[in-house]
Amino acid sequence: MKIEIWELRLYYNFFDILCGKYITIKEKFIPDLNYSINIYNNKINVFKTDNTRYISKNIFCERIKPILLKEYDMDKKEIDFYKKLKKKHIN
């Protein structure tokens, strides 16, 4: 089972885009399970999603700029951990 590690650059307004000011969130996406995990404001966020979250639509005025950092196959221990995490946070 694959996992993708993404960097999401969040821009709050057009001036942030022009000035290159953004907040960075690292996020893990597990395509086979259709969910993502990130930590923001010291809180673990686990939510159902799909790969459309990571597709830039408007290159000139994008509010979220996704960058794929790494992709790899998880081992059994890691798969079990993420399945338990999903079960705990998503009903």
Rounded to 5°, angle at Cα 10 from 70 and 20: 100
The CA distance from 58 to 79, in Å, is: 34
Number of domains in the chain: 1
Terminal-to-terminal C-alpha distance of the chain: 21
Tokens 């597990």 belong to which residue?
30
Q: Which 3 state secondary structure label does DSSP give 75?
A: coil
> Which pLDDT belongs to residue 36?
94
> Which pLDDT belongs to residue 55?
78
Tell me the pLDDT tens digit for each residue of 9-45: 888 887 888 888 888 999 999 999 899 999 888 998 9
Res. 65 pLDDT band, cuts 50 70 90:
confident
Q: For residue 79, what are the domain limits?
A: 2-89
Position with higher pLDDT, 58 vs 80: 80
